[in-house]
Chains A and B, each alone.
Chain A
């Protein structure tokens, strides 16, 4: 038996719009087996997920809260991906952004004017992530070291550093052994809106998406990045400075993930604690590729997956199904989209017998 792909003469009609819904459907069908495996009524579980995410305006506001770091992490992976740089290190960059921003709030905020605190934290968050992103960027640009592995290894280093800080020198002296820093001073808390937990971070995320879209699509530098991603030889031939562009792209990519870190810290937790590194950087990889490296789509996908994650937390609370179901389903959706993109242009033929 052989499976052969044949190029279609014309792409499947409407397929461009149907891929993601179809992928979600297929992933949901796979999910049915997962729920059955743990002896939970799958339809009950899916209704709970949907209700948990979209059942009330407040639930939906929680989806936006969950989507905030996802948007920034998705953009982080996407910006690097435009140049075919694989930033698998958004998780660590997020952590370092949170650490840098929280450091400003904890130790520098008493010494600066009140209205400067939040801007300084945002800047510190961006820089913290940038520096962490620059390490694999520099190793890649200068020595050609595989950035997939270096950026990923730095995730572990960043998480150990974070743990060292909140278990050690930054631990709350009044916390009776609670593993975390002291609560940040309240002038460093991001403003929240409409009586929900939706905070300044969402605006930062949306603004970042808009800015990246404009820069990449309408500036000369954005053009250079896209050329380098599409055809590195052409970019070299046109005397574009690849090394410098890799460094810049990793500064931005790391910075965006760092922003996600400070948004989570100053918008939700108000302290450094275990909940900072919960895998947003990894989900960012899924989001960037589901969004086909387009900022607008990344925002939409982030909200969608944010819904899945809020719903996943809900089923954990209500019917005691591990919330890890959301990551498993997200992975399945990504596989289905990857497959779907192939079937858009190719058809599959199964042949029996030899050749």
Chain B
């Protein structure tokens, strides 16, 4: 029994990392007032780039860095269209995702089935010796551990620094921010880039650590789940962790049932679970927020900024 709980707990962690990175990134983007529905596409480009770059440079970390960069660059396409050209952000984001699905499939064809380097799990210092907790949290691959630092940093940055205050300001009331001398457009570009970079990192996690290798549309909707988790998290990094872990748990449960040969739940239902779970979670959070008469979204989300003359 104990070993089974441990198995599920460990897989919960590894399954939640890609969405966690993408969700935190999108929280930053949306907090600045830009909705980027391109997450799925940017993750795919990150997964492809990470795999291809680590393959050709024979270096995992170069692969990760390339994925982060490419994710960010593709986010800048959305940035240019939604921030400078002020087109509809929903259409622009969808266009980005669809373009990236096509592009990654096109460019990635020769890489299908290729075997590359991958991040192997290792024990972190002596921390894995802590009973239970050590085993659950500190026996993973090198792309998991940065998340442990990232979440508190994101939290402190957002709520305890001047930069975080500026970020929240331009998402709530860009005109007021502009009046006090914040360069709204520049910051929106910056946080759109960060969101894309994190989505790219999430993608690289998939292709270099979680399910090593490249396959077309290998993200399987995790980018969209990240967007749902942003709403679930009410644009808060700590709650994003809760959402990502819930998602990871559903996946781990699915693995467990398959590994243990449990056929109480048919496998097709198991495969549907993460997606059904996302819908249910979204429903609950929407109802809950409506009951509390609270709107969690940044007030200026989706609204382009234009200085009044």
Contact = CB atoms under 8 A, between A and B. Distances in A.
Chains A and B come from one and the same complex: yes
A118 interface: no
Interface of B: 37, 77, 81, 84-88, 90-92, 94-96, 98-103, 105-107, 109, 216, 220-221, 224-225, 227-228, 231, 266, 268, 271-272, 275-276, 278-279, 282-283, 286-287, 290
Contacts of A300: none
A29 to B, nearest CB: 15
Contact of A152 (B90, B106, B221): B221
Interface string A131-154: 000000001000111101110111
Contacts of B88: 338
Which 6 interchain pairs have the tightest Cβ spacing? A331-B99, A327-B102, A328-B102, A324-B105, A164-B268, A324-B106
Q: Which bracket fits the contact residues of A? A: 35 or more
Contacts of B109: 322, 324
A330 B224 CA distance: 21
B225 to A, nearest CB: 8
A34 B104 CA distance: 11
Contacts of A172: none
A330 B98 contact: yes
A156 B95 contact: no
A331 B290 CA distance: 36
A285 B58 CA distance: 39
A271 B69 CA distance: 44
A143 B220 CA distance: 27
A321 B110 CA distance: 10
Nearest to B220: A156
Contacts of A109: none
Given A152-B224, A157-B275, A324 B216 contact: yes
B98 A334 contact: yes
B7 to A, nearest CB: 24
Contact of B275 (A154, A289, A332): A154
Given A156-B272, A282-B98, A324-B102, A339 B279 contact: no
B216 to A, nearest CB: 7
A285 B98 contact: yes
Contacts of B102: 324-331
Contacts of A139: 279, 283
Contacts, number: 141
B220 A331 contact: no
8 contacts: A38-B106, A149-B227, A153-B224, A164-B266, A322-B106, A324-B109, A325-B102, A331-B101
Contacts of A5: 84-86
Given A285-B98, A324-B106, A160 B286 contact: no
A179 to B, nearest CB: 13
Contacts of B231: 146, 149
Interface in A15-58: 34, 37-38
A341 interface: yes
Given A34-B106, A139-B283, A286-B98, A148 B91 contact: no
A34 B109 CA distance: 13
A206 B58 CA distance: 54
Interface in A254-283: 279, 282-283
A116 interface: no
Contacts of B107: 34, 37-38
A332 B99 contact: yes
A342 B86 contact: yes
